[in-house]
C-alpha cells in the first residue's frame, strides 16, 4: 500500500516493552478508510466486552487518515480511540495542529498501545525508528513543561502529543494535548494514556506521502483553497474564531446559562466574539495546511492573571466556564482555559461539572463540609480557576468533580441527576436543544454520548449555515420536531464521520460539497471512489461504532436526554416555555431508527443492515439466533 497511506501501524506492548510493526490490511483501509474508522475496527476486534477502560485490556489507538499531511485544505487531523473511562462505551478524541502530519511523516499511519507500562515512559519515533524512553522526570509536569523537556532531550525538532497531571491522576475527562494547546479532548482518553503510564509521543521524519494522481490532487486542493478564501465564513472565523456563534445562539434562546436553568445570558456582550477580540486576542492561529486561522492566540492584559498567555478559549469553553457558571469575566474564563490546556483537561466536561456542582451547592445537595469549606456560588470568577487546579490534582472537592457529572450525581443522589447535563455520561456542549429540537436527537444518537460535532445540526439550526457535504441540511423550523428531518441527522452523522476518518477538519464540510472530497480521496488513493462510496463508508463506520456501544450495553433507553430538557420549560428568551417532551423525542427516535435501518425496539442495527454494510462479523455479537429481527 503506497498511495495516501504509509502502510504501517506501530504496535507498542507496554507490559513487555516490546515494539513491533504491521502492515495495514488493504481490505480494512477500503472499508474503514482511516482515522476513527480504522481505529474502531481494531478496538472492536481486540477489546473484549466489559473490559476495564483503565485496565491493561483496553487499547489506546492513535490513527491518521489518507489525507492527513497532504496539501488538502486543513488535512491536519488525527483521531484517538479507546473505550472511554468517562462513559464506558466507544470513546473518541480528534485534534488538529501539526501532530497528525508529524506522526505520518515519522513513518506510521497509526500507533496501537496495549497493556500497561510498569513505569512512566514516552515514545519517540524518528524516521521510522521508534524507541521507548523513561519518563520519570516528566511525570507530574504540565503539558508545556513536558514538551519543553522532551524537545530539549531531542537532537532535532519533534512534534509532541502528551498528557498533563489530569491524565496522570486519571481525571475521567482528561485530554490528550498536542502542539501545547490543541486537544483530543472528549471522552477522557488522556486518563487511558495516564493509566498506561505513557506520558508523551514525540514524532519527526520525512516519510513521503505518495499520491496516485499528484497533479489532479493538487488541482483539486487548489480549488479548495480558492473556494475557502472567498467564503464569508472564513472572514468570520478569522475575525472572531469559533466564538463568533455566541451571539447567534444567545439570541435564539439556546445559550446554556447557570447550568441550563436559563437559555439567555444577559451579559453576553462581556464574553462574545467581539469581546474576546477586544480583550485578549493577539492573532489568529491555523492548523497544518489550513487557510482559515480560527484558533485564537491570546494574552490576559489586566487583572490577577495579567501576562498569562496561550491559545483559546473556543466557543464551548467560553460558555461552559462562562454563562454556564454564571461568570462574565472573560479573563477568568481565559485563565481557566489555559489551565485546562496545561493540565490536560476537556474544557466542556470540566466547566460543565463545575456548573453542576454550583447548582448542587445552591440547592443544598453539596454543603461546605463536602466542599472543604468552599462556597460554590454561581458568578464566582476566581472559583472556576481554583477548581481547575483542584480537579487536575484531585485535591479536596476536586477529587469528586474529577469523576464527571454522571458519577457525581450517582454519589450525591437527592435528585441531583436532574441537574447533571449529560447523555451516556458525556457532558453536553453549549447548545440548548429546547431551542432547536433536532439538536436533541443529535445528542442522543451520537455514538460517544452527548456530543455536538458528530452531526453538527447546530449549524443549520442556531447558525443558519447549510452543510454542502450532504444533499439537504435544511431544518425548516428549529422549534418544531419534524420526524422527516431525522434524515438530516443521519446524513450529517455519516458524512462528518468520514471527516474523522480521512483526516480533514469538519469545518470544511460546511463549505465544500462531497464531490470535491471524493475526488481528493480518489486521486490520493487511486481507488475508484465516488459519492455513493463516501456515503456508504460513513454509514458503515457509524454502524460499527454503534455496534461497539451496543456490545457494552447501550439500548434504545440510553438514547435519552436529561429530564430537565424534557420537563423544565426555558424561562426566558424566544424559546421561553419550550421543552423536548419525552413523546416528541421518542417520535424523533422512531424516525431516526427507521432511516438508519435499526431495530426500533432495541436501537440495534438489524441483521439486514449489517449484511448490507458488509459487517456480517458483528451479527453474532448483537443478535442471538432466538431473537433475530
CATH of the domain at 250: 1.10.569.10
Query: Is residue 112, in this structure, part of any structural domain at all?
Result: yes
> What is the 3-state composition of the chain as percent helix, strand, coil, each rounded to the nearest 5?
45, 15, 40
Instruction: Tell whether 77 and 173 lie within a shared domain.
Output: yes
Give dist(CA 267, CA 271) in Å, integer. 7
Decide: 235 and 545 in contact? Cβ < 8 Å. Answer: no
Question: Among the three residues 393, 409, 427, which one is the final residue of a domain in this structure?
Answer: 427
Task: Tell me the helices (H) and strands (E) count for the chain, helix number first.
Answer: 27, 17
Instruction: Tell whether 359 and 498 lie within a shared domain.
Output: no
CATH number of the domain where residue 488 is located: 1.10.599.10
Query: What would the mean pLDDT of 65-85 be, rounded to a whole number?
Result: 95
Instruction: Tell whether 186 and 270 lie within a shared domain.
Output: no
Query: Is residue 222, in this structure, part of any structural domain at all?
Result: no
111 three-state secondary structure:
strand
Closest CA to 55 of 92, 79, 88, 22: 88
Q: Domain of 362?
A: 237-427
157 three-state secondary structure:
coil
C-alpha cell at 125: 519515533
Q: What is the count of structural domains for the chain?
A: 3
CATH number of the domain where residue 144 is located: 3.60.9.10
What is the side-by-side strand order in the sheet with 281-285? 281-285, 295-299, 309-311
Give dist(CA 539, CA 231) in Å, integer. 29
pLDDT at residue number 292:
84
Instruction: Tell whether 607 and 485 lie within a shared domain.
Output: yes
Give dist(CA 224, CA 204) in Å, integer. 28
Query: Is residue 210, in this structure, part of any structural domain at all?
Result: no
Instruction: Tell whether 372 and 467 lie within a shared domain.
Output: no
Q: Is the pLDDT of residue 298 over 70?
A: yes
Closest CA to 91 of 592, 552, 481: 552
Angle at 428 between CA 469 and CA 574, to 5 degrees: 80
176 three-state secondary structure:
strand
Instruction: Tell whether 346 and 485 lie within a shared domain.
Output: no
Question: Among the three residues 427, 442, 457, which one is the final residue of a domain in this structure?
Answer: 427
pLDDT digits (tens, 9 = 90+) for 587-606: 999 999 999 999 999 999 99
Instruction: Tell whether 455 and 403 lie within a shared domain.
Output: no
Reported residue count of the chain is 629
Query: Is residue 281, in this structure, part of any structural domain at all?
Result: yes
**Looking at residue 334, what DSSP letter applies?**
H
CA-CA-CA-CA torsion sign (446, 573, 296, 122): negative
pLDDT digits (tens, 9 = 90+) for 231-242: 777 788 888 999
pLDDT digits (tens, 9 = 90+) for 98-156: 999 999 999 999 999 999 999 999 999 999 999 999 999 999 999 999 999 999 999 99
Decide: 378 and 258 in contact? Cβ < 8 Å. Answer: yes
Instruction: Tell whether 454 and 599 lie within a shared domain.
Output: yes
Instruction: Tell whether 246 and 314 lie within a shared domain.
Output: yes
Instruction: Tell whether 413 and 440 lie within a shared domain.
Output: no
Instruction: Tell whether 199 and 299 lie within a shared domain.
Output: no
Query: Is residue 3, in this structure, part of any structural domain at all?
Result: no
Query: Is residue 223, in this structure, part of any structural domain at all?
Result: no
C-alpha cell at 113: 498501545
Decide: 357 and 368 in contact? Cβ < 8 Å. Answer: no
pLDDT digits (tens, 9 = 90+) for 187-207: 999 999 999 999 999 999 999
Query: Is residue 165, in this structure, part of any structural domain at all?
Result: yes
Question: Among the three residues 150, 180, 204, which one is the final residue of a domain in this structure?
Answer: 204
pLDDT digits (tens, 9 = 90+) for 389-422: 999 999 999 999 999 999 999 999 999 999 999 9
Pairing of strands 8-13, 110-114: parallel
Instruction: Tell whether 180 and 243 lie within a shared domain.
Output: no
Query: Is residue 317, in this structure, part of any structural domain at all?
Result: yes
Rounded to 5 degrees, φ, ψ at 191 are: -70, -35
Q: Name the residue with cell 491559545.
A: 311
Q: Is the pLDDT of residue 228 over 90?
A: no
Mean of the per-residue pLDDT values for the chain?
95
C-alpha cell at 313: 478559549
Amino acid at each position: 500500500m503506497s498511495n495516501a497511506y504509509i502502510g504501517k501501524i506501530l504496535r507498542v506492548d507496554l507490559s513487555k516493552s516490546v515494539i513491533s510493526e504491521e502492515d495495514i490490511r488493504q481490505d480494512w483501509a477500503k472499508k474503514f478508510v482511516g482515522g476513527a474508522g480504522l481505529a474502531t475496527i481494531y478496538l472492536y476486534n481486540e477489546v473484549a466486552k466489559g473490559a476495564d477502560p483503565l485496565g491493561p485490556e483496553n487499547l489506546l489507538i492513535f490513527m491518521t487518515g489518507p489525507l492527513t499531511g497532504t496539501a488538502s485544505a486543513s488535512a491536519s487531523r488525527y483521531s484517538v480511540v479507546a473505550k472511554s473511562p468517562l462513559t464506558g462505551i466507544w470513546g473518541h478524541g480528534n485534534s488538529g495542529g501539526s501532530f497528525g502530519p508529524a506522526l505520518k511523516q515519522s513513518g506510521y499511519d497509526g500507533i496501537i498501545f496495549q497493556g500497561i507500562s510498569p513505569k512512566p515512559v514516552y515514545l519517540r519515533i524518528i524516521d521510522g525508528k521508534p524507541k521507548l524512553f523513561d519518563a520519570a522526570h516528566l511525570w507530574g509536569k504540565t503539558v508545556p513543561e513536558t514538551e519543553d523537556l522532551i524537545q530539549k532531550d531531542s537532537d532535532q525538532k519533534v512534534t509532541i502529543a502528551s498528557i498533563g497531571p489530569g491524565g496522570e491522576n486519571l481525571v475521567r475527562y482528561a485530554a490528550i494535548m498536542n502542539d501545547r494547546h490543541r486537544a483530543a479532548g472528549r471522552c477522557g482518553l488522556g486518563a487511558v494514556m495516564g493509566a498506561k503510564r505513557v506520558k508523551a509521543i514525540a514524532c519527526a521524519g520525512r516519510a513521503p506521502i505518495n499520491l496516485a494522481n499528484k497533479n489532479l490532487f493538487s488541482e483539486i486542493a487548489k480549488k479548495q483553497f480558492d473556494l475557502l478564501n472567498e467564503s464569508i465564513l472564513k472572514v468570520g472565523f478569522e475575525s472572531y474564531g469559533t466564538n463568533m456563534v455566541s451571539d447567534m445562539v444567545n439570541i435564539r434562546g439556546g445559550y446554556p446559562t447557570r447550568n441550563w436553568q436559563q437559555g439567555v445570558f444577559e451579559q453576553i456582550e462581556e464574553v462574545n466574539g467581539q469581546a474576546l477580540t477586544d480583550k485578549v486576542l493577539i492573532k489568529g492561529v491555523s492548523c497544518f495546511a489550513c487557510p482559515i486561522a480560527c484558533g485564537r492566540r491570546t494574552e490576559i492584559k489586566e487583572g490577577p492573571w495579567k501576562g498569562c498567555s496561550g491559545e483559546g478559549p473556543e466557543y464551548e469553553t467560553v460558555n461552559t466556564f462562562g454563562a454556564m457558571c454564571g461568570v462574565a469575566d472573560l479573563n477568568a474564563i481565559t485563565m481557566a482555559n489555559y489551565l485546562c490546556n496545561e493540565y490536560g483537561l476537556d474544557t466542556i466536561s470540566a466547566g460543565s461539572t463545575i456548573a453542576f456542582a454550583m447548582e448542587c451547592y445552591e440547592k443544598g445537595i453539596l454543603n461546605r463540609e463536602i466542599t472543604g469549606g468552599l462556597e460554590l456560588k454561581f458568578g464566582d470568577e476566581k472559583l472556576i480557576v481554583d477548581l481547575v487546579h483542584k480537579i487536575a490534582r484531585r485535591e479536596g472537592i476536586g477529587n469528586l468533580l474529577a469523576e464527571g457529572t454522571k458519577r457525581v450525581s450517582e454519589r450525591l443522589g437527592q435528585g441531583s441527576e436532574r441537574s447533571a447535563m449529560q447523555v451516556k455520561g458525556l457532558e453536553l456542549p453549549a447548545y440548548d436543544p429546547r431551542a432547536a429540537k433536532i439538536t436533541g436527537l443529535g445528542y442522543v444518537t451520537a455514538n460517544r454520548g452527548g456530543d455536538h460535532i458528530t452531526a453538527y445540526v447546530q449549524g443549520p439550526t442556531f447558525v443558519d449555515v447549510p452543510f454542502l457535504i450532504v444533499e439537504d441540511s435544511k431544518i425548516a423550523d428549529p422549534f418544531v420536531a419534524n420526524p422527516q428531518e431525522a434524515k438530516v441527522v443521519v446524513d450529517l452523522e455519516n458524512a462528518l464521520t468520514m471527516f474523522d476518518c480521512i483526516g480533514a477538519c469538519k469545518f470544511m464540510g460546511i463549505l465544500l460539497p462531497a464531490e470535491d472530497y471524493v475526488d481528493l480521496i480518489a486521486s490520493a488513493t487511486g481507488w475508484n471512489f465516488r459519492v455513493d462510496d463516501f456515503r456508504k463508508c460513513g454509514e458503515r463506520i457509524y454502524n460499527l461504532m454503534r455496534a461497539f456501544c451496543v456490545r457494552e450495553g447501550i439500548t434504545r433507553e440510553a438514547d435519552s436526554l436529561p429530564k430537565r430538557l424534557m420537563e423544565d420549560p426555558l424561562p426566558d428568551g424566544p424559546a421561553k416555555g419550550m421543552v423536548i417532551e419525552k413523546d416528541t423525542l421518542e417520535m424523533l427516535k422512531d424516525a431516526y431508527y427507521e432511516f438508519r435501518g435499526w431495530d426500533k425496539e432495541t436501537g440495534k442495527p438489524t441483521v439486514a443492515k449489517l449484511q448490507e454494510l458488509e459487517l456480517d462479523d458483528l451479527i453474532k455479537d448483537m443478535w442471538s439466533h432466538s431473537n433475530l429481527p
